[in-house]
């Protein structure tokens, strides 16, 4: 896995992980990458500096432990969402619309949607909000 710093044509910066440099190129050339801020699909890699450490890491848990008040608050929010909501994966837009239209009983859900699906939900008055974290993907 490799992490790239990227930016869109609207000058938004963000990072993402890829299986390889070739995987990034293939997704970017296919228009399958989009900006996490605005949905722009014209994405390029930003200039990056390698991360080099000279100290031996004694506690591997410190790599993922939240640091600071904001990260701790986000970690707590993520736990609450995952504990009290159903993960519906890429079916989020369909499920949210069905509940809004009364075709399914209402319940708390979270998942993933393409930028154009999220925009359509908002335009149609479906009450949704983006989450400030990536959902933990659940596999059968």
d(CA 62, CA 43): 31
Q: What is the chain's mean pLDDT, rounded?
A: 83
With residues binned 3-state (H G I as helix, E B as strand, rest as coil), the percentages for the chain, rounded to 5, are 35, 15, 50
Q: What is the pLDDT of residue 97?
A: 95
Q: What is the pLDDT of residue 101?
A: 95
DSSP class per residue in 9-50: TT--EEEEEES-HHHHHHHHHTT----TTT----EEEPP---
Res. 31: pLDDT tops 70:
yes
Q: What is the pTM of this model?
A: 0.51
d(CA 83, CA 101): 25
Res. 122: pLDDT tops 70:
yes
Res. 72: pLDDT tops 80:
yes
Res. 35: pLDDT tops 90:
no
**pLDDT band of 125, cuts 50, 70, 90:** very high
């Amino acid at each position: 896995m490799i992490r790239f710093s990227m930016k869109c044509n609207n000058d938004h910066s963000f990072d993402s992980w890829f299986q390889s440099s070739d995987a990034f190129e293939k997704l970017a050339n296919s228009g399958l990458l989009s900006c996490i801020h605005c949905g722009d699909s014209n994405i390029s890699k930003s200039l990056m500096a390698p991360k080099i450490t000279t100290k031996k890491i004694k506690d591997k848990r410190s790599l993922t432990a939240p640091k600071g008040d904001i990260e701790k608050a986000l970690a707590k929010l993520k736990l609450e969402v995952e504990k009290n909501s159903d993960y519906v994966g890429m079916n989020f837009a369909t499920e949210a619309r069905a509940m809004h239209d009364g075709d399914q009983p209402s319940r708390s859900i979270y998942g993933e949607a393409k930028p154009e699906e999220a925009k359509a939900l908002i335009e149609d008055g479906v009450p949704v909000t983006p989450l400030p974290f990536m959902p933990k993907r659940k596999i059968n």
